[in-house]
Chain A
Amino acid sequence: MKADKGSPQITRKYRIGYGIGVLGLTLVWLGAMGPGVWPFNSGVLASATHSSFSMLCHQLPERALMINGNLTLVCARCAGFYSGLLASWTLFGLVCWGKEEMLKTGLNKAGYFLVAILIAVLANVAGQFIGLWSTPASLRFLLGIILGAALIAVIYQTVLSEKYMIKLNSSIYEYHG
């Protein structure tokens, strides 16, 4: 079958990927935020989730956020990171459907942005560790959101590059997806 611009097969493939991403990242976000955002309160599930995130976060209670009377299972920065992943994956996908070219232009330098924010986060952690400053939870949460969004921006940049190559090649290549 010849793949033309906006082939239903290609569009369907990306939509499925987008949907799986939203579901998966929602699951991670729910796990990270803990019982405070869950519709039910399960001690067993909270313990298992807490244990799983122990390899992904220091989980210090004074660095965690309080939501509906419950502490998040990760620190403020990680909570921001997972929030940033979910929010940016969802938003970029919605923008991508309507204004793909605009998004492609906007994400042109996403890789540099990711490196810059990663350095900023590491500098913040190092400064705090050696006692130069103390960052409030709100700022750590914000830095986490930006870091998560930057990571997703790079991934969307890659996705759009792949789509661009598909469109570019569709006139001379045959689709086997």
Chain B
Amino acid sequence: MNTMDEQLPSYQKSVLVGGGIVGGLAFLVNIISGYAQISAEPSVTILGIMAIMSLITCLVAMTGALISTWHYSQFLEQPITLGKGALIGLFTGIAVAVVSTLLNQMWSALNPDFNQQVMESVIASFEQLDLPEEQIQAQTDMLYNSMKNSGSIRGILSSIISGSVFYGILNALTGMLGVKLFIQNKIPPRDYIDISETE
């Protein structure tokens, strides 16, 4: 246990800020792309729009830890290690998974037909692609199973758990980057204190 950990402010608030913002943004991008998908005729262009939207989501989902470490750096008077940054990123990833899953569930409760409409539209677009029948069938089955389980307790839990693992690990990486960008350059490593101060 590091003796100076006790002097560091808690990072829970920063994790909630980063996870909340990014979870909310990821949910919004999903909803917008879902409605773009539903309201248009099935076409490869719509899949292209989804690809662009998902590219944004991908970048956003990995920036959660950057937001958290930046927010945390505002309260720091001493630097933290990369390990601490990874930990902040891990918890931010978990927060992203929880927030986005819960928002998706709330949206599904308010609009029960939304997921069904999105799935039917995506499947209709898949059928326009030049793919072997077995690939289309495999993809359709996977989408159908995802949608069928999404509303159940098991589906929600598995979504939170698997999302926490993937977002957690990826945000742990960007959490370390956040330490480099926002914290480490300002002040020297914290794990060390001057002997002359202790003696």
Contacts and interface: CB of A to CB of B under 8 A. Distances in A.
Contact of B61 (A25, A46, A51, A56): A56
Contact of B195 (A59, A152, A173): A173
B158 interface: yes
B130 interface: yes
Contacts of B189: 162, 165-166, 169
A177 B191 contact: yes
Nearest to B45: A129
A175 B135 contact: no
Nearest to B164: A52
Given A51-B159, A177-B2, A177-B191, A162 B81 contact: yes
Q: Report the interface size class on chain B.
A: 35 or more
A172 interface: yes
Contacts of B53: 58
A53 B145 contact: no
B30 interface: yes
Contacts of A170: 192
Interface string A1-32: 00100000000010001000000110110010
Contacts of A96: none
Contacts, number: 157
Interface in A140-154: 151-152, 154
Nearest to B83: A17
Given A27-B169, A155-B173, A176 B191 contact: yes
B58 A50 contact: no
B14 to A, nearest CB: 19
B180 A158 contact: yes
A129 B184 contact: no
Given A46-B142, A58-B47, A161-B184, 18 more contacts: A17-B82, A24-B172, A27-B165, A28-B169, A48-B161, A55-B57, A55-B100, A55-B163, A56-B57, A58-B53, A60-B47, A78-B58, A129-B51, A152-B173, A154-B177, A166-B191, A169-B189, A176-B3
30 contacts: A13-B83, A24-B169, A28-B166, A31-B162, A46-B145, A47-B142, A50-B143, A50-B146, A51-B146, A51-B150, A52-B163, A54-B54, A55-B30, A55-B58, A55-B61, A55-B100, A58-B50, A61-B131, A71-B138, A125-B52, A155-B173, A155-B177, A158-B179, A158-B180, A161-B184, A162-B81, A162-B189, A174-B194, A175-B192, A176-B3
Interface of B: 2-4, 26, 30, 47-48, 50-55, 57-58, 61, 81-83, 86, 97, 100, 126, 129-131, 135-136, 138-139, 141-143, 145-146, 149-150, 155, 158-159, 161-163, 165-167, 169-170, 172-173, 176-177, 179-180, 184, 188-189, 191-195, 198
Interface of A: 3, 13, 17, 24-25, 27-28, 31, 43-44, 46-63, 66, 70-71, 78, 85, 125, 129, 151-152, 154-155, 158-159, 161-162, 165-166, 169-170, 172-177
